[in-house]
Structure 1
Amino acid sequence: KRITKAMAEHYRGNSHIIGWQTDNELNTSGSLSYGPVTLAEFQAFLKDKYKTIAALNDAWGGNFWATAYDDFDQVVLPLDYAPAPVGPTHVVDYHRFLAFVTARFQHDQVLILRTTNPDWFVFHNLGNLDDIDLRGEFSTDLDFLGFDIYPFMDDEKQRIGGVGEAQALRLDICRGFTGNFIVPEQQSGFGAQPNFSTLTPEPGEMRRMAYTSVARGADGVMFFRWRPAHFGAEIYWMGIIDHDDIPRRRYDEAKQFAGEVTALKDKILGTHVRMDLGIAGSDFDNQEMHRSYPIGLPSPQDDAMLLHRYCYRHNIACGFIHPEDDLSKLKALYVPHWLKWTDAWTARIEAFAKAGGTVILGGRTGSRDVNNHVIRETSPGKALSALAGITVEEFGRLTPVDGDGLFAHGGRFGVNTVRKKLPATSASRQYVLKIGNAQVTAAHLYELLKV
């Protein structure tokens, strides 16, 4: 607060300062904390949320494994296997807490800035999206959001098929949270920190990546950065010019892009990205509920990535959207195994289907409630079953394509050994689907449906 207030007061009358970025890439370097201050704040958060310890015990399923508490002061942080797996709702509430304190941390800065000069715009630049609820206060506090785009770094980290696929996925996920946005940091050159590095964009790629950002929802783009540092942990994170301050091809590309996009700005600003196929996304609870008890399945986002990649490679207008958003312009909506589901969402997708849209539901959708408990009705619940015309009679795991078992060999559930691994029985147990004239081998999970 002291730093924000001092800087705001210093620049309050400076006509060259028109807006502020809060902090920098909150939670990108890490969001987890298990110290004593975190514990005290977590306990206070839970007390404010649940009011009584009985309500917390009910939400967390405290009768299982005798994990009920007598008082909020007894609640511990969810350290895994200390000594046993932590209850899933305990884990989800911990991540809800982390999102809450992240939003509160930013809120303190926003209040100071808006009080000092109400004419300033305020935004944040996001790197990783861990433990940030972008449909909550974190976003509503801001005038708009920014997302930092480093396609070659995303490509190396995700390995989903190429730098184009990686950038498109990142941008579409971001747009699903906020609509149009800006890119405060657009990769311009070679990127590196002491523990990783990226490719150097070839001639023309820097400009192409900038246009990709615009095409997928960016109303503003700023290249990172003007020049690289000569010391510190990013001395080889290159900018528009090099360490010697001599303009070369990246400078020329930035200049070319700036001139071209300035000429096009009146045709771009105020427009929105077309989306024919929507993938349900942008829901904090669903991502966290999956992570709390994944049974070895890909996350909803990892599942969605496969469809998104197909659409990218086949020029299908695709993106991410929440069921609470406007679905009317879509032709189809795919829900990638969202465990948590509400009747209000069912009503919205039912209206979408009645208007001619196609709804595709992933396995396990609607199988847990708001407390991350498995529902007591036959999955996927009465309302969703009525809409889809099915109930789930049985489910089970399958290995991934080319997998040799259901979980990693060795470690807690295996034997640490140097012998050659042989496939588990699960690797040979396959389910085959016929879709039209195509025959597809199922992976990860199956459901037997009653129609």
Structure 2
Amino acid sequence: MTQSNETTRRWLRRAGSARLEFGADYNPDQWPREVWDDDVRAMREAGVTIVSLAIFSWARLEPRDGEYDFAWLDEVMDLLHAGGIAVDLATATASPPPWLTRKHPEILPVTRTGETLWPGGRQHWRPTSPVFREYALRLAGELAGRYAAHPALVAWHVSNELGCHNVYDYSDDAAAAFRHWLRARYGTVEALNQAWATAFWSQRYDDFEEVLPPRLAASYPNPTQQLDFKRFSSDALKDHLIAERDLLRRFTPDVPVTTNFMVMGETKGMNYADWAAELDFVSNDHYVLPGPQARDELSFSANLTGNIAGGRPWFLMEHSTSAVNWQPVNVAKKPGELERDSLTHVAHGADAVCYFQWRQSRAGAEKYHSAMLPHAGTDSDVFRDVAALGERLRQLAPIAGSHRARAAVGIVFDWESWWVAEHDSHPTERLRYRQEALDWYTALLDAGIRVDVLPAGGPLEEYRMLIAPILHVVPAALAGRLRDWVNGGGHLVTTYFSGIVDENDHVWLGGYPGALRELLGIRIEEFGPLLDHESAELDNGTTGTIWTDRIDVTGDGVEVLARYKTGDHAERAAVTRRRVGPGSAAYVSTRLGPDGIGALLPGLLGPAGVRSELPAGLGGRVELAVRGDHWFLINRTDEPVDLGDLPGAGILPPRGVTVIGKQ
């Protein structure tokens, strides 16, 4: 983190003691004045301690160019403070007002096909627009100057969900900024030509001014150009974040600054592991995604967020009390899920539990999105569950400030491998990087194993076992780190399509898996992607899909843990493990899904000395997370679970969470 520890924890240590914060986005400007007093009364009834304010209020705050209306916000800030509710005040720059886009249509984003994204939704601005930057900083400065000393202010909220709708802009502004970024990265156009392999398809550049973003082309755009544009686009948004942050710090150096990440599902355009160091504390938005691994995906995302935050407490800025409005079918949460979802985030390090939003909108695009105060009002199950959660969080106040306890097993998560592994013109378009990582996470939870999901640049050396699914981009430095870690006694597991390219998306020559070939003691000449109707049985009773590899064992100390039973590679190795001194390096050459991975885990975990910390019989039904001196036991099922002899545990209700002293 970038500020002092005391500054970063200002949002936690008010009223003389630490506590878990509880609240929501609050949008009083969508409601008449007479509602505001009722809001504060109901907030106090629910146990709300903090709200994020003015996120989408630019048009209200600056109704005309250079004319400001802060009277309503002054009143709301004073009203909240009088009610004992703190404010995470937004810079309100997420969506520009109509007058700004009318006056300066050149701030509007442009798609790769050349279409302009017009006003009418939100985030209709170019991250690289100097015009937009000027207006956004002007508004942020007005807010910072006016509210710097307000007693309700405990944190600044930069923009909102940066990149949710505008991460990739292909405009002329973006082209100019991209060229500037490339000059800084490569120095010379010849270095760029080498990195981009522009000898292919006659793409050699003579001047940086010839370079464009990867707009719609007649065929596949240059792969390294695509990768660098993804890097640049993440950096462009980060640069905007830094610009607003630095301005705010000039006014209020003791008020921490954050912005809400979106570590969830397939949101992959922003490299949050790279952004985290720019914030005083990490914040995240998460919404449950439907499917058989919905609960595990929530846990996976919370776990990754906690490790992006370096194990320190973080802020759950948004999630939902019940149904959302943006999925094809928006299902209400079952009894117990509101609390379980919230406390799972707390288990993985969240010291604040907040929702979108406080009062459910009566109109607009999100009027059917649930809220803390639903359309039905306070006389509703949702509000009663909200109030019950507020009381539960008050009781859990001693947990605030505690760090996540490191697990023995880590799943390595790498944004650049995610980006590149799913590029076009690859062996298959069916590969899904995050799904493979989630499958390993689910399999470990099924086995009762506590695991960390950590960025590739994290402290890998502190783990006994590392799982690196589809670690596709492996620079020489990372290959060296993994080799040294294994030689020192670590146990590595990696999978198909790993170790294939370097940081420039150039293939490591000599056979696959490239940079990891010697460490794994295997060699693969050709990939074996499977068609949709194809699969390959293994001799351990599992079935692989999407991918197979024809493996030749080349190194000493390699044992075959499973072989293909059917398919083109029948009788050949499917899963291998090489002993390397006190460590080992294993390779899984096909997608097995959680159940298939589960069949492999005993043979992989055993040599690493990893076993479940849970009593026998609880693995699979209960997830364990550890914060400080507390165990969080989370029921993964819809049935009650008897926690046996665990002190203070008893019966864990369906979808329930209990917190006990560390065992």
2:141 maps to what in 1? 5
2:343 maps to what in 1? 211
1:185 maps to what in 2? 318
1:285 maps to what in 2? 416
Question: Matches of 1:259 and 1:351 in 2, distance apart?
Answer: 49
CA contact (8 A) 1:217 1:273 kept: no
2:186 maps to what in 1? 50
Counterpart of 2:363 (choices 223, 231, 243) is 231
Question: Matches of 2:541 and 2:323 in 1, distance apart?
Answer: 43
Q: 1:105-144: CA deviations, max 9, x gaps? A: 11110001111111101111123643222232x2211011
Matches within 5 A, 1:27-426: 27-80=163-216, 82-127=217-262, 129-136=267-274, 138-151=275-288, 154-155=289-290, 159=291, 161-179=292-310, 180=312, 181-193=314-326, 196=328, 198-243=330-375, 245-267=377-399, 269-281=401-413, 283-293=414-424, 294-296=426-428, 297-327=430-460, 330-381=463-514, 384-399=516-531, 403-404=532-533
**Would the alpha carbon gap of residues 227 and 370 (structure 1) be closer, same or farther in structure 2, given more than 3 Å must change?**
same
Residue 77 of structure 1 and its aligned partner are, at CA, apart by 2.0
Residue 184 of structure 1 and its aligned partner are, at CA, apart by 1.0
Counterpart residue identity of residue 49, structure 1 = R
Residue 355 of structure 1 and its aligned partner are, at CA, apart by 5.0
Q: TM-score, normalised by structure 1?
A: 0.84
2:588 maps to what in 1? none
Residue 279 of structure 1 and its aligned partner are, at CA, apart by 1.3
Larger Rg belongs to: 2
Question: Matches of 1:318 and 1:331 in 2, distance apart?
Answer: 11
Q: 1:232-276: CA deviations, max 9, x gaps? A: 211122211123643422222222222222222224531315534
Counterpart residue identity of residue 163, structure 1 = A
Residue 95 of structure 1 and its aligned partner are, at CA, apart by 0.7
Question: Matches of 1:364 and 1:210 in 2, distance apart?
Answer: 35
CA contact (8 A) 1:241 1:247 kept: no
CA contact (8 A) 1:216 1:273 kept: no
Question: Matches of 2:469 and 2:427 in 1, distance apart?
Answer: 15
User: How many correspondences in the alignment?
Assistant: 411
Question: Matches of 1:216 and 1:356 in 2, distance apart?
Answer: 27
Residue 288 of structure 1 and its aligned partner are, at CA, apart by 1.8
Counterpart residue identity of residue 191, structure 1 = V
Q: 1:206-250: CA deviations, max 9, x gaps? A: 112111111223222113322111222111222111236434222
**Would the alpha carbon gap of residues 268 and 2 (structure 1) be closer, same or farther in structure 2, given more than 3 Å must change?**
closer
SS of the residue corresponding to residue 143 of structure 1 reads coil
Question: Matches of 1:366 and 1:207 in 2, distance apart?
Answer: 41
SS of the residue corresponding to residue 307 of structure 1 reads helix
Question: Sequence identity of aligned pairs in percent?
Answer: 23
SS of the residue corresponding to residue 376 of structure 1 reads coil
Residue 5 of structure 1 and its aligned partner are, at CA, apart by 0.7
CA RMSD, 1 decimal: 2.3
Counterpart residue identity of residue 268, structure 2 = D
Question: Matches of 2:355 and 2:536 in 1, distance apart?
Answer: 48
Question: Matches of 1:261 and 1:447 in 2, distance apart?
Answer: 53
CA contact (8 A) 1:125 1:145 kept: yes
CA contact (8 A) 2:306 2:404 kept: no
Counterpart residue identity of residue 387, structure 1 = L
**Would the alpha carbon gap of residues 314 and 198 (structure 1) be closer, same or farther in structure 2, given more than 3 Å must change?**
farther
2:110 maps to what in 1? none
1:409 maps to what in 2? none
Residue 313 of structure 1 and its aligned partner are, at CA, apart by 3.6
SS of the residue corresponding to residue 235 of structure 1 reads coil
Question: Matches of 1:62 and 1:327 in 2, distance apart?
Answer: 35
Q: TM-score, normalised by structure 2?
A: 0.58
Residue 201 of structure 1 and its aligned partner are, at CA, apart by 1.5
Residue 7 of structure 1 and its aligned partner are, at CA, apart by 0.7
